Structures are given as structure tokens and as C-alpha cells.
């Protein structure tokens, strides 16, 4: 059974940095691409970033490009999101999500429960 557990959220001041983690279990983490998706309070889903299974294929959403970095450690079955130069607009629940296998790999098949990041002075 796929399990994705995010951690690292909290309250941070504007301009500061934060690193989120997502611990994966119940599947072979090293062969699946992974996403980060966020949702501001009362708003819709926003796609943030994706990383290939080997870490050599990475794409970002326009609003985080140049500030956020997605990475992974397959030996620890863990996904990361390094967030720099945070602004109040980055306040959201951040979800870790798994790519499906094979031809369905453009999407998402499993989601974590999310971790809340609040950017506030």
C-alpha cells in the first residue's frame, strides 16, 4: 500500500527558506517519478514540480522557478522540496504525489496528506 508522509512544514518569515520532506513506503520509490503540488487556503490545486525516478528530469511551475528545488534520495525513499525566498503567496498545504507507471506517467496516482507552510512576519 502506497504511503507518502510529508514533513517540514511550519511558520516561516518572508524571505527565509524551508525544506520539505516526503517519506515514501509501500512501493519501489526508486522507479517512480514524483511531484510536489500545493494548495493555498481556500484555493485550487497548483502544480509545483516533478522529478524523474533517477533525478535527471526536472520541471517547475512558473511561480516557483528559480526559487524552489526538487530533489530525491532513492537510498532513503525520500523526496525533498527546498524553498527559498519565500513570500506570503507561498502559503499553502504542500502535497507529495506519485507518478503512475508506464503510459500513465504524465499524471498522478497517489497523494500524501500534505504539510502546511505558512509564510508570515
Partner 1 sequence: QTVVTQEPSLTVSPGGTVTLTCASSTGAVTSGNYPNWFQQKPGLAPRALIYNTNNKHSWTPARFSGSLFGGKAALTLSGVQPEDEAEYYCLLYYGGARVFGGGTKLTVL
Residues interacting with partner 1, by CB under 8 A? 35, 37, 44-47, 50, 57, 59-62, 95, 100, 103-104, 106-114
Cα 71 to Cα 21: distance, rounded to the nearest angstrom: 10
Q: For the chain, how many residues are written? A: 121
Smallest distance, partner 1 to C-beta of residue 59, A: 4
Smallest distance, partner 1 to C-beta of residue 68, A: 13
CA-based nearest residue to 73, from 51, 49, 47, 106: 51
Cα 105 to Cα 83: distance, rounded to the nearest angstrom: 25
Amino acid at each position: 500500500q502506497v504511503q507518502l508522509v510529508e514533513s517540514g512544514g511550519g511558520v516561516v518569515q518572508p524571505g527565509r527558506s524551508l525544506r520539505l520532506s516526503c517519506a515514501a513506503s509501500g512501493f519501489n520509490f526508486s522507479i517512480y517519478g514524483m511531484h510536489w503540488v500545493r494548495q493555498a487556503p481556500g484555493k485550487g490545486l497548483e502544480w509545483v514540480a516533478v522529478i524523474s525516478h533517477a533525478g535527471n528530469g526536472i520541471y517547475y511551475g512558473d511561480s516557483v522557478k528559480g526559487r524552489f528545488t526538487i530533489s530525491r534520495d532513492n537510498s532513503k525513499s525520500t523526496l525533498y522540496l527546498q524553498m527559498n525566498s519565500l513570500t506570503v503567496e507561498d502559503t499553502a498545504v504542500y502535497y507529495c504525489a506519485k507518478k503512475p507507471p508506464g503510459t500513465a506517467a504524465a499524471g498522478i496516482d497517489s497523494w500524501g496528506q500534505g504539510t502546511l507552510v505558512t509564510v508570515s512576519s
